Chain A
Amino acid sequence: MFEKTGVATREMVITKFPPIERINKGPVAVVECYQKIPCNPCQTACPCGAIRIGEDINEIPQRDESLCTGCGICVAKCPGLSIMIVDGSKSDKTIEFRIPYEFMPLPEAGERVIGLDRAGQPVCEATVKRVMNPPAFDRTPVVTLEVDREFIYDFRNFRREA
């Protein structure tokens, strides 16, 4: 299915998440890169050596959740915008996501938005916590959103209310 629609299945998505215990400890990167393509900026960008591709730049990146600090530098560096940060340490009811968002206008902190799944369909409500767009991100803003825990494997994007 994935190769026909570009929408990863839930089973595929879950394989990219670290165990929930790790997510509950603090922020960690989820690298949704499923295909061998010649690309390695995530490995180059990671200051902790937590994302490994190796010598062959076609290999699929492996994220070591014990080394990853969830700093998020990789989020704006991935040319495929395939990386997000998940953090379950803030509350036992919600998860914080940090996702890249290259559209205008940018949302504002505190704004309620519609959470979308990997097919762009509405799945939940989300609250914008923070919008980061420093020069180092090179015009790939990163938006922090708070989402109910039950949507942890569904939420992947958002849409502003009309």
Chain B
Amino acid sequence: MREVELLIIGSGPAGLCAAISAASSGASVLILERSFKPGGQLIKQTHMFFGSESQYASYRGVDIAGILLEKLKEYGERIELMLNATAVGFYEDNVVTVLKDEKEYFKIRAKSVICATGAFEKSLAFPNNDLPGIYGAGAVQTLMNVYGIRPGNRVLMVGAGNIGVIVSYQLMQAGIEVAAVLDAAPRIGAYLVHASKLARMGVPILTSHTVKEAIGKDCLEAAVVCEVDERFNPIPGTEKRFDVDVLCISVGLSPLNELLAMRGVEMKYVPQLSGSVPMRSENCETCIPGIFVAGDASGIEEASSAMAEGYLAGLCAAAKLGYAPEDFEQRRSEYLKQLEDLRSGPVGERIRAGMKISQL
């Protein structure tokens, strides 16, 4: 059985930063990535990121993936990136089972593991929500920004959070009409600068609206929306029909961390972090020593926080393996400070509450 020092599951912003951080301290790292492309969801983010210089603010996500992958190379053989490799099991003796290329199945034993498995898109219940043409907003982003293929001609976006408004803007950049963006909440959840970018392109943002039903036989042909009251009940007589061939669902993400639950890590349902998350220390370490979590797998946040958490988890995991750099404490405080900065404003209020509940 293959033995590794540090196994990182996932090569998105958290996983890549964790690998760079741990390798820079001297640890040997193996990264497992289930896709044939590294970078996680960074590779489809064409917009400039928020945050500060430490999280590459003002760079486009797709370019940040490139920067981080270049950095990985600096560590040569100390970091191995295995693509098309899905971690399918995580056992008591720190054995991770891997399915590679959908063919080979093998075991890896790791001294330490960082779970940076990300998140998945939630769905929404309404009649005919399974019609082809109804996609997760992230899926449409992949189709359009990774493969350069238009999802359709006219889109209705459900969800006015950051992903909903950003993907709507990106759809327009790809030359696709966005009929409207709706959200059941009475207020726009996205950063308002993103919403304004879309509003001044003439796209109406309809708050207190939801999808009543989708219409179509083999594929989506139209969607009926209606207003909701303050208790989210549909208001009869407010129905509007949009003739669209694409409906994007952007109603939030759920942390993807079943591997940690399987390993026996203490988990907790934390609504502020959008789902079941592992309990962890300030250093991103779970209740099982040597097992860490970083990024959306530990609770849904922005990519900037995922990167800072990755750096922190990588640093602390390496230190636990005996690779504490001289400036360990200084670097640890720096990453903690970055996270505090990113979470300290009004938009971070929910995250701060969630962090408190999920802290060991």
Q: How far is the CA of A80 from the CA of B165 in the complex (A)?
A: 12
B341 adjacent to A34 (CB under 8 Å): no
Q: Which of A20-28, A39-47, A141-149 contacts B (4 or more CB under 8 A)?
A: A39-47
* B173-A6 in contact (CB<8A): no
- Name the distance in Å between A141's Cβ and chain B's nearest Cβ: 12
B187 CB to nearest chain A CB (Å): 4
A77-B193 in contact (CB<8A):
no
Tell me the chain B residues, 178-199 only, with Cβ under 8 Å from chain A.
186-188, 191-199
**Residue among B53, B175, B187, B195 with most chain A CB within 10 A:** B195
| CB of A152 closer than 8 Å to a CB of B | no
B53 touches A34 (CB 8 A): no
Task: Please tell me if the beta carbons of B57 and A157 are within 8 angstroms of each other in the complex.
Answer: no
B191 touches A56 (CB 8 A): no
Distance from B292 Cβ to chain A, minimum over Cβ atoms (Å): 23
Pair A36/B193 contact, Cβ less than 8 Å: no
Binds B, one of A63-71, A87-95, A112-120: A112-120
For chain A residues 60-111, which have a beta carbon within 8 Å of chain B?
77-82, 102-104
Instruction: Check if A33 is an interface residue, CB within 8 A of chain B.
Output: yes
Given the interface pairs A36-B345, A77-B58, A138-B60, the reply to whether A7 lies near B196 with Cβ below 8 Å is yes
Determine the distance from Cα of A118 to Cα of B202 in the docked complex, in whole angstroms. Answer: 8
Q: If the complex has contacts A32-B196, A119-B202, A120-B202, are A38 and B345 also in contact, measured as CB distance less than 8 A?
A: yes
Q: Does B263 contact A (CB under 8 A)?
A: no
- Stretch from B1-9, B42-50, B82-90, B129-137 at the A interface: B42-50
Q: Does B23 make an interface contact (CB < 8 A)?
A: no
B341 adjacent to A58 (CB under 8 Å): yes
Chain B residue nearest in CB terms to A44: B53
Cβ-neighbour of B344 out of A58, A156, A157 (below 8 A): A58
Known contacts A44-B53, A58-B346: A5-B199 contact under CB 8 Å: yes
Is B201 in contact with A35, judged by CB distance below 8 angstroms? no
> Which residues of A have CB within 8 Å of B47?
79
Known contacts A35-B191, A38-B341; is A121 also within 8 Å of B202 by CB? yes
13 of the cross-chain contacts (CB-CB < 8 Å) are A4-B205, A4-B207, A5-B205, A6-B195, A35-B191, A38-B50, A38-B348, A44-B53, A58-B345, A79-B47, A116-B200, A116-B202, A120-B200
Asked if A120 and B193 sit within 8 Å, CB to CB, the answer is no
Residues in chain A near residue B194, CB distance under 8 A: 80
Q: Does A8 contact B (CB under 8 A)?
A: yes
How near does chain B come to A72, taking the closest CB pair, in angstroms?
Answer: 15
- Report B's interface with A, CB cutoff 8 A: 47-53, 57-60, 165, 172-173, 175, 186-188, 191-205, 207-208, 304, 341-348
Contact B199 A41 (CB under 8 A): no
Cβ of A124 under 8 Å from chain B: no
Contact (Cβ within 8 A) A79 B50: yes
Q: Are A120 and B199 in contact (CB under 8 A)?
A: yes
Q: Which residues of A contact B (CB under 8 A)?
A: 2-8, 32-41, 44-45, 56-58, 77-82, 102-104, 116-121, 138-140, 156-157, 159
B-side interface mostly: mixed
Which of A34, A38, A45 is most buried by chain B, counting CB atoms within 10 A of its CB? Answer: A38
Is B52 a contact of A44 with CB atoms below 8 Å?
Answer: yes
- Expressed in whole angstroms, the minimum distance between the Cβ of B159 and any Cβ of chain A is 14
A57 and B341 in contact, given A41-B58, A121-B202 (Cβ under 8 angstroms): yes
Q: What is the bound-complex CA distance between A44 and B57, given in angstroms?
A: 10
Q: Are A6 and B347 in contact (CB under 8 A)?
A: no
16 new A-B contacts, CB < 8 A, other than A6-B192, A6-B196, A58-B345, are A5-B199, A5-B205, A34-B192, A35-B191, A35-B192, A36-B347, A37-B193, A37-B345, A40-B52, A44-B57, A77-B48, A78-B58, A79-B48, A81-B197, A82-B193, A120-B200
User: Inside 8 A of B342's CB, which chain A residues have their CB?
Assistant: 38, 57
The answer to whether A3 and B58 touch (CB under 8 A), given A103-B172, A118-B200, is no
Given that A58-B346, A79-B48, A102-B173 are contacting pairs, would A8 and B196 also be in contact in the complex, using a CB cutoff of 8 Å?
yes
Interface core residue of A57, A117, A140 (most chain B CB under 10 Å): A57
In the complex, the chain B residue whose C-beta lies closest to that of A103 is B173
- B192 cross-chain contacts in A, Cβ below 8 A: 2-3, 6, 34-35
Contact among B193, B199, B304, B345 for A80, CB-based, below 8 A:
B193
Residue in contact with A79 in the complex, picked from B58, B188, B341, B346, CB distance below 8 Å: B58
- B199 touching A6, Cβ below 8 Å: yes
Chain A residues within an 8 Å CB radius of B165:
6
